[in-house]
Amino acid sequence: MAVATTQRPASRPLAGLEAGHRRYREKFIVGGLFLCAAFSIVVTVGIVFALVVPSVDFFRAISPVEFFTGTEWAPLFKNSKFGVLPLLSGTIVVTLIAAVICLPLGLAAAIYLSEYAARRTRSFVKPILEILAGIPTVVYGFFALTFITPLLRENWPFGTPPGVFNALSAGLVMGIMILPTVASISEDAMFAVPQSLRAGAAALGATKYEISTRVVVPAGLSGIIAAFVLGISRAIGETMIVLIAAGGTPTLSFNPAEAMQTMTAFIGAAGLGDQATGSVGYKTIFAVGITLFVMTLVMNIISIRLVRKYREVYD
């Protein structure tokens, strides 16, 4: 202690100098941290450039009208056809199947976790459900191909069973994969609904079913819709499940028992095919990529807006 007290007066003037030195060091550090944050802008600009530049080239060679209205997709054949509609219909079919599974199940799971589950049950059910979101997508693809597809083929009630590759199996498994995303965001929204609204409804004699469906769900609706939109956006962007289980044939059809190719699966398959850099086959990757990117971007922006809305209402 004695040493410290004698030293202190001596170091005082120095401390003043040090503060100045520190100010510069501090600015330097904060500048570095800002660069880290700004790096996300670099990545975004990179993505946009990576998609736009080759796509412009592509659309110079193939007219956008042919691309968006053509009903045949065979870009890598000699007699090439560049109609993206079969890929779009494949994406829509798989996404719809996934939505039919993950939207009601996800909402119901959120209601269970937020309104029904006891605190202890919730504390272990929620993490287990979140594990579903952490499983690698190749694993889901394998599960769809070797478990769900045979199950469907053996127990098919409507005539000709689906083929080894079909959109149905991929869509079903994708729905389960997205379930925790939908459930967790919906539950956040329900959690933000003030307790007083529930208490008020209960005081008027509402049952738990009535509180859930007529108070909590309507009050958290913007967040729930955000969860739905984000879930659908994830379904559109998912690659491995469809690449493995839905097959590689672009089919303009809405029959879920058929093999189909989605936009993502095409990009993945084209990447596998090792296209020569600069060839038309190479550029189709980017043209389909930008279509996919714009679709998911619009949905993500809607979803982010909606989440902000419910936060503003109840925070």
Partner 1 sequence: MSTSTPQRASTPPVSLTSRRGWWHRARDGAFRGAVTGSVVVGLVVLVALILQSLIKGWSRLNWDLLTSFPSSFPDRAGIQSAIFGTLWMVGIVLVTAIPIGVGAAIYMEEFADTEAWYNRLIDVIIQNLAAVPSIVYGILGLAFLSRGLLDLGPVVITAGLTLSFLVLPVVIIASREAIRAVPSSILDGALALGATRWQGVSRQVLPASIPGIATGSILAVSRAIGEAAPLLLLGALQFITFNPTGLNSSFTALPIQIFNWISRPQEGFHVAAAAAIIVLLGITLLMNAVAIWLRNRFQQTW
CB of 56 vs partner 1, minimal distance in Å: 13
Binding residues for partner 1 restricted to 226-265, rule: CB under 8 A: 230, 233-234, 236-240, 243-244, 264
Stretch that binds partner 1, among 68-76, 77-85, 91-99, 203-211 (CB under 8 A): 203-211
Site string for partner 1, 32-51 (x = CB under 8 A): xxxxxxxxxx-xx-xx-xxx
Q: Exactly one of 72, 192, 300, 309 binds partner 1 (CB under 8 A); which one? A: 300
Closest distance of CB 250 from partner 1, Å: 17
Shorter beta-carbon distance to partner 1: residue 257 or 287: 287
Site string for partner 1, 144-173 (x = CB under 8 A): -xxx--------------------------
Asked if 140 interacts with partner 1 (CB under 8 A), we say yes
* Residue 208 in the binding site for partner 1 (CB under 8 A): yes
DSSP bridge partners of 74: 81
Confirm or reject binding of residue 212 to partner 1 (CB under 8 A).
Answer: yes
What mask, x for binding partner 1 by CB under 8 A, covers residues 78 to 117?
Answer: --------------------------xxx-xx-xxx-xx-
**Of 202, 252, 280, 313, which one interacts with partner 1 (CB under 8 A)?**
202
